[in-house]
Amino acid sequence: MTVALPTGTGRRTVRAALAPIVDFLLPCACIACGSRIAGGGLVCAPCRGRLRAPPAPRCARCDYPAGTGDRPGRPCLECLEWPEALSLARAAVALRPPADVLVHGLKYEGWRELAPMMAELMERRLATLLADLEEHVVTYVPTSSAHRRRRGYDQAELLARALAGRTGLAFAHLLERRRQKRTQVSLHPQQRMANVRDAFSLRPGADRLHGGNVLLVDDVLTTGATARAAAETLARSGVRRVALVTFARALPR
């Protein structure tokens, strides 16, 4: 006896009918807090609600919360020594729970599926600037080849591709990491600068952007040492303006 399997609308109806059963037997858990998510997803609504932008008021250039060292109309002390080409920085959220868990999940635990959601928040943060970014090419701060082989991907590239897709801006591979003595995580600001000095080089063909603008993407902005080194490399190739956007910004507790 031959049994006809449902096709088209019938198959969709079966899937819809089975969905509550599958959700009950194999519930999705929030990556950030571990709670059950009805209907699927990676991050629960309460955790998404806790993802907040850095507190206002913020420096118009680097987006750092104003306060000590605030000088109206002039760069704050956080970005005073940034290269001229690095003209703007924005972060979608402050690096506070649960943002830190999401960054760690994308970077170290293989949760590459987080990138689209994180890029969505980055796009929202850039909403008022998109008109000024129309001529920018999206690229990213590359990780080392060893880290890419170990993880199987580059987390900043995933974010950059997702953001380019959401904004309609062109994407290009412009930088490669030549060397990095050690991870930046445990280093002090001056050590971070020394660690990434001359760390980047241009990929073949990147010089075609001479006089152009770049939207540089990374997962986290801490002291800005890595972004500065990447921007300086792009500026040496003739890039006129570098705008930086990250998912998270590290701030004092």
Q: Spell out the domain ranges in the chain.
A: 7-49, 53-249
Q: What is the mean pLDDT of the chain?
A: 85
Residue 193 has pLDDT above 70, yes or no: no
Q: What is the per-residue pLDDT for 40?
A: 78
- The enclosing H or E element of 25 equals helix 9-25
The structure tokens listed for 151 are: 């993880």
On whether the CB atoms of residues 89 and 228 are closer than 8 A, the answer is no
pLDDT band at 26 (very low <50, low <70, confident <90, very high): low
Q: What is the per-residue pLDDT for 173?
A: 95
Residue 166 has pLDDT above 60, yes or no: yes
Residue entry with tokens 């603008």: 213
What is the identity of the amino acid at 98? Answer: P
Q: What is the per-residue pLDDT for 66?
A: 79
Closest listed residue to residue 216, CA positions, set 124, 84, 91: 91
Cα 217 to the chain's mean position, in Å? Answer: 6
Contacts 24+ apart (CB under 8 A), 37-44: 42/111, 42/113, 42/114, 42/117, 43/98, 43/102, 43/114, 43/117
For the chain, the C-alpha Rg in angstroms (whole number) is: 21
CA angle 82–193–81, rounded 5-degree value: 20
The structure tokens listed for 19 are: 């969905």
Residue 22 has pLDDT above 60, yes or no: no
**180: CB partners within 8 A, 6+ apart:** 144, 195, 196, 199
- Mean of the pLDDT values across residues 81-101? 95
Q: Which of 57-71, 82-96, 158-172 has the lowest mean pLDDT?
A: 57-71
Residue 154 has pLDDT above 50, yes or no: yes
Report helix, strand or coil for 244: strand
pLDDT in tens, 94-123: 999 999 999 999 999 999 999 999 999 999
pLDDT band at 189 (very low <50, low <70, confident <90, very high): low
Residue 186 has pLDDT above 60, yes or no: no
The pTM for the full model equals: 0.83
Q: What is the per-residue pLDDT for 18?
A: 46
pLDDT in tens, 195-228: 667 789 999 888 788 889 999 999 999 989 999 9
Using CA atoms, how far apart are residues 94 and 52, in angstroms rounded to an integer?
A: 6
Closest listed residue to residue 78, CA positions, set 91, 61, 55: 61
- Percent of the chain having pLDDT more than 90? 63
Strands of 241-249's sheet in order across: 86-94, 241-249, 213-221, 136-140
Q: What is the per-residue pLDDT for 165?
A: 97
CATH number of the 53-249 domain:
3.40.50.2020
Q: What is the per-residue pLDDT for 211?
A: 87
Residue 240 has pLDDT above 90, yes or no: yes
- Mean of the pLDDT values across residues 155-163? 98
DSSP state of 204: T
